[in-house]
């Protein structure tokens, strides 16, 4: 299993690579968005600013979008999930447009939303294969999909309910950080790799 983490200047690559390396996968980091699709599974990491990441993806945006829409398994984590959408109020630039919708600021008294929060209303087989009901979040923005059916789980930050997980075809996005969510989070992440 060839897993590629696309490096577009976001942080957290080391702990993510470590969580993805289960001994049976070949995990690599790639900075070229076009070369990144030469894999069995693409991972869009979290931690960073939407505008900067969108600018880094711009030269290969159409190729990436077409590959993901064409069936390349993809997991977007935090910022990576947000990049699956059309755009963000956080900064300029276009997202990949794999999932219709926009990313907006979290509507809570305290922003960013940092810490452990419950995952609610889970409706995806991945949660059955690797149960996780609380996860670590670090986000000031949240995805607002145009179609509710893409949402597979929710979270609540101070009264703002937003998607914890979305799925469109073989593309999955999680707003939380499974690689920072203890053993349950790592198991959940590896379940997505096995699914791919």
Residue 78 among the catalytic residues:
yes
Out of 90, 113, 143, 179, pick the active-site residue: 179
Out of 78, 90, 113, 168, pick the active-site residue: 78
Residue 177 among the catalytic residues:
yes
Cα(182)–Cα(116) distance, rounded to whole angstroms? Answer: 11
Q: Which helix (H) or strand (E) holds 68?
A: helix 61-69
C-alpha distances in Å from residue 50, one per residue of 84, 96, 110, 127, 191? 11, 11, 20, 28, 27
Residue 120 among the catalytic residues:
no
Out of 39, 90, 143, 177, pick the active-site residue: 177
Q: Which helix (H) or strand (E) holds 188?
A: helix 182-195
**Residues with active-site annotation:** 78, 177, 179
């Amino acid at each position: 299993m060839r897993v590629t983490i696309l490096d577009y200047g976001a942080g957290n690559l080391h702990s993510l690579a470590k969580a993805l390396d289960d001994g049976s996968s070949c995990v690599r980091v790639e900075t070229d968005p076009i070369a990144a699709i030469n894999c069995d599974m693409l991972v869009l990491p979290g931690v960073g600013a939407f505008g900067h990441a969108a600018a880094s993806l711009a030269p290969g945006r159409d190729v990436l979008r077409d590959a993901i829409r064409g069936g390349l398994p993809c997991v977007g984590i935090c910022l990576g999930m947000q990049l699956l959408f059309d755009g963000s109020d956080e900064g300029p630039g276009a997202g990949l447009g794999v999932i219709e919708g926009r990313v907006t600021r979290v509507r809570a008294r305290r922003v960013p939303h940092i810490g452990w929060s419950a995952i609610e209303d889970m409706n995806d087989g991945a949660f059955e294969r690797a149960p996780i009901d609380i996860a670590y979040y670090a986000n000031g923005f949240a995805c607002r999909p145009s179609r509710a059916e893409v949402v597979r789980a929710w979270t609540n930050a101070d009264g703002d309910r937003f998607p914890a997980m979305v799925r469109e075809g073989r593309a999955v996005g999680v707003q939380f950080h499974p690689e920072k969510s203890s053993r349950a989070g790592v198991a959940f992440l590896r379940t997505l790799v096995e699914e791919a």
